[in-house]
Structure 1
Amino acid sequence: MGAFTTMTSKGQITIPSEVRDALKLEPGTRFYVAARNGQVVAIPKNKNLMDLAGIVKLPPGLSLSLEDMEESVADAAAEDDNRILRETAERLK
């Protein structure tokens, strides 16, 4: 799922309703926003940690810093977004 949106002169974007509905985002949702590999990644901060279970794949016994975990989650979100964009582009052909 993905959709196009436009940034305003104040740097604001509207998250399309299909995306809000799919992620169950509500007014007041806070986001962690980061630049990763030339992309803007916005991660809802009100998600339960269990919603992210399995997104970070580590060998047994290895631990990560909070920064490493944030980067891993952002990378996974960016990969998912790339997949969605590819699938959307294929459907529009």
Structure 2
Amino acid sequence: MNAITISAKGQVTLRKELLQHLGVRPGDKISLDRLPNGELRVRAVRPLGKIDGFFGSLKREGQRSISIEEMNEVIAKGWAGEL
């Protein structure tokens, strides 16, 4: 059992090994679900992901971004077997 102490402000601190078990790091979020008999379920909140987080993720350092037209040209060449 991992007992924790409640501060005067009603705050609790989870031990490092518990946070590692949840797979959370500073800045991440956890959720608490109320269960019967005064119990809580603690789970890591996993981001659903947004398209904004994907933009630029494939870009290599030192390379410029390409336009949609350039992407379409490369795709067409690939389907034609020219690449």
More helix by share: 1
Q: Highest Rg: 1 or 2?
A: 2
Higher relative contact order (CA 8 A, sep 6+): 1
Q: TM-score, normalised by structure 1?
A: 0.41
Q: TM-score, normalised by structure 2?
A: 0.45
